[in-house]
Amino acid sequence: MPWLLAREFRDTYTVFAGGDDFFLIGPWRSVQKLVARLRDDFHHYVAGNAGIHFSAGIATQKPGAPIHSIAELAEEALGAAKGYNGKNAITCFGESVLWSSWEALEESLERLDALRRADTAGLSTGYVYGLQQFVEMRRMEETERVPEAAMWRARLAYRTRRFVVDKRKGLDEDGKRRLTTQIIQDIGGHGIEKLGAAYRIVLFNHLYQFRDR
């Protein structure tokens, strides 16, 4: 790990490393990529042995936060990861997900980022922030079996149509329909439907990336 930090993650620092535990501090996105890299390397090292787990907990804090506070939050996140569906998971932004789903989260983030950057779509921060309510409804539908929560699909479709109609007035009707369909598929089908509550990780990553732009 010291070699990897020195070569590829120079902005990440080791607070503690001993036995099979380590505590690192660095930029939020860099830490995510580092931990995913460590997990992949560890998976290869143990020859894909499903009986050996790699759990990680990530806590995101503002610069200047006390180390002890960060440590407590990270420990809570790690505990959640270890208790999630037989370990071998990561907890980030309060959501736990198996490592087998992490690549899908990254792909979904790329889709959302692309929609934000696209001249035709140009998703607003307000629109993206509002998607959290649909993620919560999806969680309620999936884990609590709340029938009304299934309405998130219709509400997402309505909100997306309104966004396109109000904000993309330069498009003709066919263009608006195609853009609406694309957004609903990328966010709804490939994102919220597929990933459930874990899509909240995608939303927070996206919002943090674009907060200063």
- Tokens for 149? 């929560």
Judgement on whether residues 86 and 112 belong to the same structural domain of the protein:
no
- Give DSSP secondary structure letters for 149-179: GGGHHHHHHHHHHHHHHHH-TTS-HHHHHHH
Contact of 112 with 186, CB cutoff 8 Å: yes
Identify any residues that bridge with 18 across adjacent strands, giving them in sequence order: 21
| Residue 212's pLDDT band (cuts 50, 70, 90) | low
| Residue 186's pLDDT band (cuts 50, 70, 90) | very high
Number of other residues whose CB lies within 10 A of the CB of residue 57: 20
Domain boundary among 63, 92, 121: 92
Determine, yes or no, domain membership for 97.
no
Is residue 108 predicted with pLDDT exceeding 90?
yes
Determine, yes or no, domain membership for 98.
no
Could you report the per-residue pLDDT of 190-202, keeping only the tens digit for each? 999 999 999 999 9
Number of other residues whose CB lies within 10 A of the CB of residue 191: 28
For tokens 């506070």, the residue is 69
Q: What pLDDT sits at residue 122?
A: 84
Range of the domain at 162: 103-210
- Alpha-carbon distance of 62 to 173, in angstroms, equals 44
Q: What percent of the chain has pLDDT over 90?
A: 84
If one counts the domains in the chain, the total is 2
Contact of 134 with 152, CB cutoff 8 Å: yes
Determine, yes or no, domain membership for 73.
yes
Judgement on whether residues 185 and 127 belong to the same structural domain of the protein:
yes
- Alpha-carbon distance of 83 to 113, in angstroms, equals 31
Contact of 23 with 15, CB cutoff 8 Å: yes
Judgement on whether residues 35 and 59 belong to the same structural domain of the protein:
yes
Domain boundary among 56, 71, 92: 92
Q: What pLDDT sits at residue 109?
A: 97
Number of other residues whose CB lies within 10 A of the CB of residue 105: 23
- Tokens for 66? 């006390």
CATH classification at residue 45: 3.30.70.270
Judgement on whether residues 8 and 85 belong to the same structural domain of the protein:
yes
Q: What pLDDT sits at residue 54?
A: 95
Give the largest Cα separation in the chain, rounded: 61
Could you report the per-residue pLDDT of 109-162, keeping only the tens digit for each? 999 999 998 877 789 999 999 999 999 999 999 999 999 999 999 999 999 999
Domain boundary among 41, 63, 92: 92
Q: What pLDDT sits at residue 2?
A: 86
The stretch 22-32 carries a mean pLDDT of: 95
Could you report the per-residue pLDDT of 69-82, keeping only the tens digit for each? 999 999 999 999 99
Average pLDDT, the chain: 93
Contact of 203 with 128, CB cutoff 8 Å: yes
